Amino acid sequence: MPIHLNYQGTICQKCGAEFVAHKKDCVCPACGEATDDCCDFAAETIATMKDHKQLYGNYFPQSWFSGSIADTVQGIIFELFDNYEIDKPEDFTAFVLAQLGDAVWEEGQEHLAIQVEEIALEVFEIYKNDSDFKGDNLKEKPLNPELKEILPKTTDLPFDIDSGAGF
């Protein structure tokens, strides 16, 4: 199962915009109103990225349900870093801006572009100095061979369609 944060996002008390309070003393990116909310979003995202890479071989999991603004932003960050690792461009900031330049935001979520850019750079600051992200350190873990034997077996009983027909 992909890993989701407990933090869902912040709703601005003044303008109602949903955003990610990703650092201390965050302000609403739509109207500038201050919030007391704060989530260590970059560090949490890094932790999730490591788990996903080991589980799925990618930062973006096989399926990702966006149930909150925090999920939406994380999903974009996962994809960004998967794309970044394809040819590791030298200028990360330029890469992020180019990737986000094509993004189409839902109405009322345009301010997320600023947020994603800021968060991507914060994540990158941790990422580039974290040895876990070097080489094959996060390579997909092979299945434990003993586990293979207790994988669900296909049933011998054919499914009887008629028995459910109500006659």
* Residue 107: DSSP 8-state: T
Task: Report, in Å, the least distance between residue 77 CB and Zn ion.
Answer: 22
Q: Is 57 left (phi over 0), alpha (psi -120 to 50) or beta?
A: left
Q: What's the start-to-end Cα distance of the chain, in Å? A: 40
Q: Is 158 exposed, middle or buried (0-12, 13-18, 19+ CB in 10 A)?
A: exposed
CB neighbour list of residue 124: distance below 8 Å, 6 or more residues apart: 92
Task: Report, in Å, the least distance between residue 109 CB and Zn ion.
Answer: 13
Here the tokens at position 133 are 């992200």
Task: Report, in Å, the least distance between residue 25 CB and Zn ion.
Answer: 15
Q: Which C-beta is closer to Zn ion: that of 28 or that of 96?
A: 28
Task: Report, in Å, the least distance between residue 20 CB and Zn ion.
Answer: 13
Return d(Cα 99, Cα 158) in angstroms, integer.
50
Q: Which C-beta is closer to Zn ion: that of 12 or that of 96?
A: 12
Q: Which C-beta is closer to Zn ion: that of 17 or that of 73?
A: 17
* 15 in contact with Zn ion (CB under 5 A): yes
Candidate list 17, 73, 76, 116; residue touching Zn ion; CB under 5 A: 17
Interface with Zn ion in residues 24-53 (CB under 5 A): 28, 30-31, 33
* Residues at the site binding Zn ion, with contacts judged by CB under 5 A: 12, 14-15, 17, 28, 30-31, 33
